[in-house]
Amino acid sequence: MSNYDEHSSPSTLQPMVIIIGLILVFALLVALFMGKPAGEDVVPVVASVEENIKPVAVAEVAPASEAQVEKSGADVVKGGCAMCHATGLMNSPKIGDAAQWQPRIALGYETLVKNAIEGIRTMPAKGGNPALTDGEIAAAVAEMANQSGANFDPASLAKK
Ligand code: HEC
């Protein structure tokens, strides 16, 4: 099909490609070793290379996996809510104290979840961790309240 002259390519193009390649490799080595006497100057080069690579990995991998894996209620409580609710810090209803939870449980599961998500009085929104999903908060509320006299089922909210 094409009438490309194959005899001129090995004799002229190939050495050119090799020379350009060597120049590129040399330039790269110079760039890498220029700052070397200072010792740690190599690190920023590596760091900036990592920065250039990072966004791709963060944007495509992390959100997908985080969005799919919901933490269990027990994990959410352990990882945050317990900081206050395990001991009753700041007058929060203490996990396991049915008397403290009873008037709150009486508000109903949905209301408690809403209050935990939005925050109420000194209870911070989502327990101060905005990364938690509404489903994770609902699971954590059930986890705490069910140890304190309630019988909440996170699946009952998930269906809505
Ligand atoms: C910084 C301390 C703190 C953290 C962390 C915290 N809470 Fe609370 N929480 C409180 C306090 C204080 C109250 C009581 C607020 C009030 O009634 O005045 C409360 C109340 C509640 C209530 C009852 C709300 C109502 O309507 O009476 C629920 C439910 C609750 N928290 C859920 C959670 C969940 C779920 C988490 C973790 C994701 C969490 N809390 C993390 C301090 C905290």
Q: What is the pLDDT of residues 8-67, one digit of tens each?
A: 555 677 777 777 778 787 777 767 767 555 555 556 666 666 666 665 655 555 555 555
For residue 141, the ligand 1 atom closest to its alpha carbon is: 35
Which CATH architecture best describes the domain 72-158?
Orthogonal Bundle (1.10)
Helices assigned H by DSSP within 8-108: 8, 14-33, 42-60, 62-68, 73-76, 82-85, 98-105
Terminal CA-CA length for the chain: 65
User: Residue 90 is encoded by which pair of tokens?
Assistant: 């700041």
Distance 116 CA to ligand 1 centre (A): 6
Domain ranges of the chain: 8-67, 72-158
The whole-number pLDDT of residue 4 equals 56
Distance 38 CA to ligand 1 centre (A): 53
Among 50-59, 90-99, 117-126, name the one with the lowest average pLDDT. 50-59
Phi and psi angles of residue 152, each rounded to the nearest 5 degrees, phi first: -85, 145
